[in-house]
Structure formats: C-alpha cells, structure tokens
Structure 1
C-alpha cells in the first residue's frame, strides 16, 4: 500500500509497505529496519517480536552509549531523558499488534521515552504523522509477513 505520493527528501518518510517489504523514501527494504526523521536507515537484527529485548530498544533510541550515573539513585530523583533522545519509539510488529513485555520497555519508560507497539501498518502511518509534526520519533518496523 502506498502511503504518500510525495516525500520530503530531507526527512525519512515511509512511502509504502506490503508483503515482505517496507519502503522508505522510495527505497524498499526486505528486512526489519529502524530510523528517525533524519539520518540513515538502519538494519534491525530482529526477525520476530520475541527477539526484541531492552538492549535493542536502547540502541534504537540512540542510548546504547549513554552513560548512566551509577550514583543517581542517591538523589532520589528519577532518571532523566538524555538530550536528543526521542519522545517516543514506535515498534511495528508485523500484520498484527503484539505487545512487548514490561521488562523490555521499562528502561525507556523510566527515562520518559514512550514505547508503543502496534501493527507495522499503524506504526508506519503514526510515524509519518509524528515526523511531519516535527516530533522526535523513532520507528522500528518488522516487515509484513507474505
């Protein structure tokens, strides 16, 4: 299904999806990908929802190298979202919505980063809307099964 006739070449836009592919900026990917409005489209080494873990979500959100303050708990304040971190991470789970376990999403939620799991079709549409509004969003999409 084609989502958008035109896209802004300066921003990553989901332009179509279908059985076994996701198209971003008119380039088809036949594997799972993650991306934000700006930057490269990254291959996501996940083939099914059960493969997703907390470390991968940190990577998708660009937090894999963010150092946590090991003494922060002494201040009694919740962890703070790092500068430049996304507001929300959208996970496209294929044809149907599949929720992620709490232990997988909790580390991002504690930082104030939303994590929403939905069908890939819904995630693609939601990403395009949030991206067009100038929101800091990251999408991680599993292709639709053929």
Structure 2
C-alpha cells in the first residue's frame, strides 16, 4: 500500500489463478479479460509478468518461480518467440532434476499446448516470450 506522499507505486504484474491464454501478439498476451504487455510466466500459483525478452534471458534465475513450485509441475512449456529455439542442456538438466520435463517450442505453439493441457487439468506451466 502506498504511503501518503509516495505517489504511484508500481507492483509486479500477477493474476492469481490458472486460466487459458486468450490471445498473444503485438508484444503481449490477453487472459481473464485482461491484457499484459511483455512476456509472462504461468505456474500453478498464477500468471506473472516476466522480465525475459529473448531466449538468452531464460536461465535458472529467470525460472526461479518455476523451481519454487516444482512439486506441482510435471511439464514446463517454454515459448521461445517466433520460432523454436532449444534451451541450454544444463537448464534442461536442472529442470529434469527438479522433476519437470521441459518442452521448448514457438510461443504460439506453447500457448495452444498450454491451453489444451490446462483444460485437461494437467500439471502444466509455461513461460512465454512476447512476440510482435
């Protein structure tokens, strides 16, 4: 909560729930009758704004929230932008060690796959790089 005289306080973007992604493109995503500009991370605790802008930004630190919720995630879909880009072997190994299978794919394919697996009530999470 902002104290008197602090002005505008910007909070981290977070939607507390698991909902399908309705649309993507133009640098962002739409879900739950809202929109978010930039990349997102969708885990069991909700949908979060995510600082990653390129595949090079996807590392263990960027996936910290995924690792925190590993017990509730079987598969992580990694939306790598316009095209499929493999994730580094060491990151894939760290995810596997945490009990999470990772599947990199284009952001569009990741959105579609996430929505299907979510509708089947599967233990799925996704990280999605925004595309134009």
**Pairwise TM-score range, normalised by the shorter structure:** 0.7 to 0.9
User: Is the contact between residue 80 and residue 106 of structure 2 (CA under 8 Å) also seen in structure 1?
Assistant: yes
Q: By how many angstroms is 1:111 displaced? A: 2.9
What is the CA-CA distance between 1:33 and the residue it aligns to? 0.8
Would you tell me which structure has more strand in proportion to its own residues?
A: 2
The answer to whether 1:118 aligns with 2:105 is yes
What TM-score results when the alignment is normalised by the length of structure 2?
Answer: 0.78
Residue matched to 2:68: 62
Q: For residue 31 of structure 2, what is the aligned residue in structure 1?
A: 24
Q: TM-score, normalised by structure 1?
A: 0.71
User: How many residue pairs end up in the alignment?
Assistant: 116
CA apart distance, 1:89: 0.8
The answer for the alignment partner of 1:34 in structure 2 is: 41
Structure 1 gaps, min length 5: 1-9, 64-81
Structure 1 runs of 4+ off > 4 angstroms?
none
CA RMSD of aligned residues (A): 1.8
Q: CA deviation at 1:41?
A: 1.7
- Partners of 2:18 and 2:65 lie apart in 1 by 20
